[in-house]
Every structure is written in structure tokens, then in C-alpha cells.
Chains A and B, each alone.
Chain A
Amino acid sequence: MTAIFGEPIPRVEDDRLLRGAGAYLDDLGHDALAVAIVRSLHAHARVVSIDVSGAFDVAGVAAVYTYKDLAGRLAEPLPLLIPHPALTHGRTGFPLADSEVNYVGEPVAMVIAADRYVAEDAAERIIVDYEPLPAVVGVDAARAAEHLVHDDVPGNVAGHMVQERGDACAAIAAAPRTLELDLSIERSASTPLEGRGVLARWDTESRRLRIWTSTQTSTGVRAAVAAKLGLALADVDVITPDVGGGFGVKIVHPWPEEVLVPWAARALGRPVKYTEDRLEHFVASAHERGQLHRVRVGYDEDGRVLGLDVRFWHDNGAYIPYGLIVPIITSTQLLGPYKPGAYRVEFSSLYTNTVIVTPYRGAGRPQGAFVMERTMDAIAADLGLDRTVVRERNFIRPDEMPYDHGLIFQDGRPLIYDSGDYPAAMAKLKALIGWEAFESERAAAREQGRRLGIGLACYVEGTGVGPYEGAHVVVETSGKVKVATGLTSQGQGHHTMLAQVAADELGVPIGDVEVVTGDTRAFGYAVGTFASRTAVMSGSAVALAARAARAKAIRIAAAALEASPEDMEIADGIVRIKGDPESGIAIGTVAVLSNPLRYAFDEAAQAATQFAGGDIDAPPVAEGDEPGLEGRQFFSPVRSTFAAGMHAAIVETDPDTAEIRVVRYCVVHDCGTLINPRIVEGQIHGGVAQGVGGALYERIAYDETGQLQNASFMDFLMPYVSEIPARIEIDHLETPSPLNPLGVKGAGEAGVIPGAALFASAIEDAEQIPITSMPISPSDLFELRRARGSER
């Protein structure tokens, strides 16, 4: 049998999706009532009154709900998912606003009607009387705290945190050279092509609730809804259908609609469905990235960092349901592949009257990489050193692994890098882009009146955070293998990748393996899909579960063949004595043997009779054993594993129009052992495209009153193919992780992380103007040139 693990095989998901036979949320529930949400038009206002009577003028309206209709736990604020001692003033919204709204788009009323057209007609007739309050928009206004988002949160500060290793201030004071930088990044957003959506059915006979939701965590939604509606967990099923992209935004749970829709379905005894539209996705889901940073760094004449002091301010929007995860990640992951002598980081997470901020692919790392890489470039510029040389001098060396930073990471565990080879990655990157030859390339271009710049950026990404994932592997009597894991899939190719793991571990053809994800009926314990954790967590759990099933298959087959288990192997779905292909029993037949209840329903059962037997004085199922050929295991690593990467790009800036064109884009990527290189490269491509978008095009633009100015795909410039470099050149480095059975590290988020840092570096190199704020548009660059001109 050919090896399947590590092969770039095509995806098992594709056939269905290519035929239009996928089942996304809005493809389900044609019989369901439709929801339209009345959303706040004001960034900050008191809700004086709501008159819903006009809604019932519209034929086909089934119900209208406001805060006053909510009762019990549903009337309480939504959960604060991840509390933290530093999050001293955590605030979350209500499913429907009570007396105050805190961002444009906040849900105020819910209409349920025959279809969405009718529901929107009715929603338009609901009159909400608002008393506007001053809006707090942007980090500067939040810090100034002239106005407060929440009356009971002084200074608009949700949380404040300091971490320090060594005495950074003393180290900087004693350093031969120092510099200071102010660095900012603006908001972007996940913007999957499919928005959020939820469908719920209440079965009036069994009194059970079934929910389909476009989520990154079905188990999380299940627990939240059960708690909010006072149902036993066992009476709630949550199924994740095909999901049209997530990129972080769908890990938030429960969304207001995720509790309101099931609640209404139960109240009305009818299926109810909410499908978010594009405008709603912009104003009522989540954004990320907005942060201001102040850096002080001390270093020696060789460019070695002796002390680093970073203060930053994180804009968390109106509420903070996901806690301090994003700024904690920035504060720890900005260290990248480097070892500053002493490090101090301090951040404040601030409320503003804007959409909530929760992780978007990269989750605080793009900001961290921007801060650290801009600092490295600034040191190189100050000392007149090559930018790669300064980085190399600050790298953690391979022989220093595992490397303990002396800080606490996002998972509450020590920030200890498990493995990695940063000098090797840098050498690969320099070779790939031709770093040394660039100056002659630049000179040649200059001769033609073209302006080129080269940049690079490095990052380290903690992936596969715990606490656990599990998997269940069942070998059916047909020989087919069913694999279930609880976390969800949003298009990454998990079903293919996990089938590769199971097929390889069990020794069966991959075509016999079928994977289910994100369905609480199939597997009830799971955390979710985020933090590039599926390959690490569920990949490892599937491997362990498959190994358990394999061991049992060998034990049973060995007994049947009167052989020693050590002499057995499984290949091509046949359990056999090593070196004796004729000796084997099909794994489906072994599954029959594993169950002493043996009705001869099928050929496998008939075939098994020749092996039947056993001790007539022993119980048919031995103590500690159980019927069936199954494995069920959990994987729970001691801490995260650390993937890494380095990107380099050559850009061309137009001397007249300041347009920025990406000439080359090179990636060196280390996610440990590769399970499917084709899928990993696809993840990198997509991440790089989001990095390009975030660096050069995408910007969530609020005005000073908190109105979102570009809430459509016409105005929010998500890249088309024309904005993405023609080639993304990729080289892999594989430093296996010692922390899991497969040696894998996560790959999902990697591509996006260095984007802002990389393009700032390359544009600065082309223009010789400091780039301290991202994203950067041609207009921004034009203004920077003009400002420099006026300085001279």
C-alpha cells in the first residue's frame, strides 16, 4: 500500500462542493420562518421606547420580540467566554438591547415572518426612539476618556496587563544605543464569503432542540444555548453544516442570534432561521487589528537587543465577550524568533462605540510581528547593518530549544518554544528571494525609472492550544471506517487531512475512511477550530483513537489466527501475519469478531464464523473489554507548539501615482511534519492574500460618530485576483514538534501574520520614508512623500 500520510492528495470534500451539493446554513430549512433584526442606527444612545405595533400591519409576520420579551437567563448579558484576572471591567451585550445601545448594528428587536422579504418589511415599521449619546470612536478618543462607553467603566479600560522578564527599563537605560517608535495598525475583518447564520427546530414530541449554525464551535454553542434556555445538554444537538469560511469571526459564541433563534423556535413550535446579510456582517459581527503601540528598545553596536519595552492600546469595541485573548497574543507573540535581553510589555484594552473585536486569522500576531519587525528594521537602519544580519544576531538558536521566554502565553501556560530552526529558515528565505542579488536588481530597475524595494518579516506562531480534542474511530463490519471529531471545519480540508491520518494509522485505504466534524451527535466533547489547532489537536486525537482501534484489531486477529500480536500488521485493510499476505483477515471481519452478537446479516459476518470460538467458561465480553472495533481517545498537550515562518517581498512603487505593486512574494514556512502539502500550501496562499489585503487595501473606516463608512464589498477593498501577486513562492522547513504524536504544528493562520510588517519593510526600503502606520494606500504613500518633500 502506498503511504498516504504526507501526500498532496486531492480533497475528499471537493466533489460535493463542485456539484453545488454542499449544504451551507441558508441551504437548509426551506420550511423555516425567517428572521430580520432591527439594529441600532446610533453608535451610542439610550433606547427611550420601541413601538413594534406597525410590524403587525404586514401580512405574514409571526412574532416580534424586544428585550422586554426575554426572560430568565436569556434576559441576562451574554457570557464573557474567557475571563482573566487582568480583565477587571468585562462587559457584554444583551441578546437584544435593553436600555442602551453601544454600536451601530447592535440588535434591538427581532421580527419573525414567513420569509425574509416580509420580515424586513415589518422590521422597517418598528419605531425605535433613541436619545443619542456622545460616541467614543478610535483608540485616541477611548484613551482620552472625555466620554465613556459604559458609565461604570472608568477611563474606558476593560483590562490592563503587564508582563516583564528581567528589568527592561534598566537594560534600555544602560544600552549603548536606544530608539523609540510609535506604530499603529487599523481595523480589518474576517469577512468570510458566507456570513453567520443559525437554524433551529424544536421537536414538540421529543422536546428536544436541534440547531444548525455556521460556527467554529458546535460544542460551545450547544453548551451556551442549553444554559440560556434551561435545557439539559443531552436535549440539544448542534450540527455545523458546510461553512463558507470563518477566519476567526465564527468562533465567537453564542452570537445574540444563536440564542434568540432557538428560543423563538421553541416558543413558536416552528423552525426558525436567521441568515446574516453582507451589511449585517460588517456592522454586527466582529472586527480586529486596531492597536497603537509605543516601543522603546536598547541595543548594542552589533544590533543585539538588550532591552525592549512595549506599551500598547487595544481597541476592543463595545463589548468584550472573547476577553483579552487578542492583546495577550500580541504581547507574547511579538517576540517572534528573537530573544531580547529583558522585556516588558504593558497594554490597556479599551472600549469604543464600535463593533466588537474578536480574533481574526492571526489574532493579534500581525500586530505583534509589525511591532517587532519594524523595530528590527529601525535598529538595522540606525546601525547601517543589513536587515537580515540584525535579525540573525537576535535569533534563538536551534540548540537553545526548548526556549523559555519567562512569560505566560494565551493558554495560561509558560511561553516555551518547543522547536524550530530560525537560522535555517532565514538561509532558505534569502536563497529563495535572492536577497544578496537584490541591489543589482534595484539598480537595473532604477536605470529604467522604476523604483523597487525589498522587505522581510519573521514570526513565530503558537498553535494547537489546548485543553483537548478527542476522536472516535469505528471500524464497521463492512470494513468502512467512521471517524468523528468534535471541532468544526470551515473549508480547510479537515476531512481529507484527518482521513489521511486515520488511514495511515489503521492501515486501510483512504477511500474507506469517512470523517465527521462539528456534529455534537457524533462527538460531544470539543473545544473548537481556532488558533491553527485542528491538525495538532484533532489530528493527534484521531491518530491515538486509530492506534487504539488498530491494537484491538491486532489483538482479536492474533487470537483468531493463534499468532502473537507482535507478529501482526495491517495493510490495505487486511490484518495479517507479517510477511505472510495469505494469512490475513479483512478488518471488517475482525469487526464482526469484536462483537459476540453475530447475526449473519452480511458476508463479513459469515466469513467470521470460521474464526469463531473462544473459551466457553469465560464471559463473551471480557472484563474491561467492550464489543465493537472502536477507538476513542483524547489528546491534551502540556502546552502549545510553535510554528514559524519568514516572508520576503519585492515591491515596486510608482514614482508618480504612488501605486504599490507586489513584484515577488516568497514564503519559508515551518509547520513541523506535513500531513498534506497541497492543503498546507492552500492555507498559506489564502493567508498571504489576507495579509496583502490587510497591508494595502482593507481598512474598516468609522467616522467620528461611529457610522461605518465602508460596509459593503464595493467600499471595503477585499482583494480580487488583480491585487494578489501572480506567484507565491513557497519553501518548507520541517522541524517536527516533540509535543504531539504526529510532530505537526498548525498552519491555518500563518500566511497572514507577517503581512503588515513585510510591506512596511519593503515600501520603506523603496521610498526611504519611515512607514509606521498600516494599512497603507497609494493616497497614504502620496501624502507621506508630500510631507517628506515639505520637510526638505
Chain B
Amino acid sequence: MTDFGAATQPPDELFDVTLVVNGVSRDARVPSRRLLSDCLRHDLRLTGTHVGCEHGVCGACTVLIDGTAVRSCLMLAMSADGAAITTVEGLAEADGTLSPVQQAFTDCHGLQCGFCTPGFLTMITAALAGNPDPSEAEAREIIGGNLCRCTGYQNIVRAVLRAAELRRAAGSAAASAERAGAS
């Protein structure tokens, strides 16, 4: 039925939030209960961040807040007001080059359906910033809280190690370029 009278429960009160997403300041008006994941996906239309369980277990919705990996389904958008957020859309270089972690995933066939992938990419990006040269055991530890139903994780572990390799290579290339420029 579609015949209805006046609603007694008023619409949610809306609040202004400002999120600095992938380096760009974005404003949204959201109800206080709006999840950060929903705000990113539906208010800002950054749909690369995916929601797999909405109870913080699968890790698909992982984003970086001030560099730290956070499950955006367990955080309210208002709690992130003013924060610097990196989503999967912000991982590639400005010129469109895939980041080392993204490149490693395609090199190693670390994704199949791709639904969980953004959560792995953000998680690994944050972890490699802190530990640029992980052992295989550490690589498994890094992805230990993210669920994937397609890959059996074999190639994701390889991708972590490959990403670290690419990252170090890029780092040393940049360093030598810097040295070359200085001399």
C-alpha cells in the first residue's frame, strides 16, 4: 500500500561534516547515525569502498584515516569530521600509475571478483608504510583480518611481498634520482 497520512517520526536531523578524502575537502550533510562507509559510498559517491558484513569482521570497507587502517562500517561519519581519509580511489599516483600494492595485485593475480580487494589494498598500504620489508609470516599477519572468498589468499600473500619489493625499488629509484639531481 502507498496510502498514508502524516508521519509522526520526523526525518533525521542533519549535521554538516567535512572530510578530506584523497586530498580533497568534501562536505556532506548527514544524520548522526550515518556510517562512514555509507557516507563515502552514497553521499560522496566514492563506491570503491565496499561493505561486506557491516559488523567489522570482513575488512572490505577498510579506509585509511590519518594513515591508519580503519573499518569504515564501524565508524560514524560525524566521528570522522575533519579527518584525512584515503580510500581505494586515492591509492594510485596522480598521473594514474597504479601504486605498488595495486600493481602487485595484478602481477600476482591477487584478486578475482574484486569485492574484498579495496580493503586489502588499503590495509596493506598502511602496513607497508610501517614495515617496508615484511617476512612471509608478517605478510600473512598483515592480511590476517581481511576475508576473501575467491582467492584462497595464496596470491594475496605473494602480492604483499611483491608490493614491498616494488615499493623499495621505487624508493631507491627516487633516492638515486634525488642524489643525481643534487650532484
- Could you tell me the distance between the alpha carbons of A334 and B135 in the complex, rounded to whole angstroms? 42
Shortest A747–chain B CB gap in Å is 13
The B118-147 residues at the A interface (CB cut-off 8 A) are 118, 121, 136, 140, 143-147
Contact of A193 among B34, B45, B147, B156 (CB under 8 A): B147
B153-A278 in contact (CB<8A): no
B33-A117 in contact (CB<8A): yes
B149-A20 in contact (CB<8A): no
B105-A61 in contact (CB<8A): no
- Could you tell me the distance between the alpha carbons of A738 and B79 in the complex, rounded to whole angstroms? 62
A720-B147 in contact (CB<8A): yes
- Could you tell me the distance between the alpha carbons of A490 and B113 in the complex, rounded to whole angstroms? 6
A437 contacts across to B, CB distance below 8 A? none
B4-A18 in contact (CB<8A): no
Interface size on B, residues (CB 8 A): 66
Q: Does A182 contact B (CB under 8 A)?
A: no
A278-B116 in contact (CB<8A): no
B117 contacts across to A, CB distance below 8 A? 17-18
Shortest B166–chain A CB gap in Å is 14
- Could you tell me the distance between the alpha carbons of A679 and B2 in the complex, rounded to whole angstroms? 49
Interface size on A, residues (CB 8 A): 71
Shortest B149–chain A CB gap in Å is 5
Q: Which residue of B lies closest to A63 (CB)?
A: B2
Shortest B153–chain A CB gap in Å is 4
- Could you tell me the distance between the alpha carbons of A686 and B112 in the complex, rounded to whole angstroms? 9
Shortest A684–chain B CB gap in Å is 8
The B84-127 residues at the A interface (CB cut-off 8 A) are 87-89, 91-92, 98, 102, 105-107, 109, 111-118, 121
A21-B48 in contact (CB<8A): yes
A24 contacts across to B, CB distance below 8 A? 47, 50, 115
A278 contacts across to B, CB distance below 8 A? 52-55
- Could you tell me the distance between the alpha carbons of A278 and B118 in the complex, rounded to whole angstroms? 18
Contact of A724 among B5, B89, B153 (CB under 8 A): B153
B114-A721 in contact (CB<8A): no
B153-A19 in contact (CB<8A): no
B154-A19 in contact (CB<8A): no
* One of B8-16, B64-72, B173-181 contacting the partner: B8-16
Q: Which residue of A lies closest to B115 (CB)?
A: A244
B152-A493 in contact (CB<8A): no
Q: Does A710 contact B (CB under 8 A)?
A: no
Contact of B114 among A57, A242, A268 (CB under 8 A): A242
Q: Does B18 contact A (CB under 8 A)?
A: no
* One of A526-534, A576-584, A711-719 contacting the partner: A711-719
Shortest B96–chain A CB gap in Å is 9
Q: Does B25 contact A (CB under 8 A)?
A: no
Shortest B116–chain A CB gap in Å is 5
- Could you tell me the distance between the alpha carbons of A10 and B136 in the complex, rounded to whole angstroms? 23
Contact of A59 among B11, B60, B148 (CB under 8 A): B11
A714-B121 in contact (CB<8A): no
- Could you tell me the distance between the alpha carbons of A115 and B89 in the complex, rounded to whole angstroms? 24
- Could you tell me the distance between the alpha carbons of A26 and B42 in the complex, rounded to whole angstroms? 9
A713-B50 in contact (CB<8A): no
- Could you tell me the distance between the alpha carbons of A253 and B128 in the complex, rounded to whole angstroms? 43
A194 contacts across to B, CB distance below 8 A? 50, 52, 113, 115
B31-A720 in contact (CB<8A): no
Given known pairs A27-B41, A718-B147, A720-B146, the reply for A244 and B113 (CB within 8 Å) is: yes
A58 contacts across to B, CB distance below 8 A? 7, 9
Given known pairs A491-B150, A678-B109, A712-B55, the reply for A721 and B87 (CB within 8 Å) is: no
B106-A61 in contact (CB<8A): no
- Could you tell me the distance between the alpha carbons of A728 and B151 in the complex, rounded to whole angstroms? 12
B149-A191 in contact (CB<8A): yes
A712-B2 in contact (CB<8A): no
Shortest B118–chain A CB gap in Å is 5
A206 contacts across to B, CB distance below 8 A? none
- Could you tell me the distance between the alpha carbons of A25 and B176 in the complex, rounded to whole angstroms? 45
Apart from the given pairs A57-B8, A121-B9, A686-B149, 18 other A-B contacts in the complex at a CB distance below 8 Å: A13-B114, A15-B98, A15-B106, A17-B114, A17-B117, A19-B91, A20-B118, A24-B47, A59-B10, A63-B2, A192-B113, A278-B54, A491-B112, A685-B151, A714-B57, A722-B140, A726-B140, A728-B152
Interface positions of B (Cβ within 8 A of A): 1-2, 4-5, 7-12, 31, 33-34, 41-42, 45-55, 57-58, 60, 87-89, 91-92, 98, 102, 105-107, 109, 111-118, 121, 136, 140, 143-157
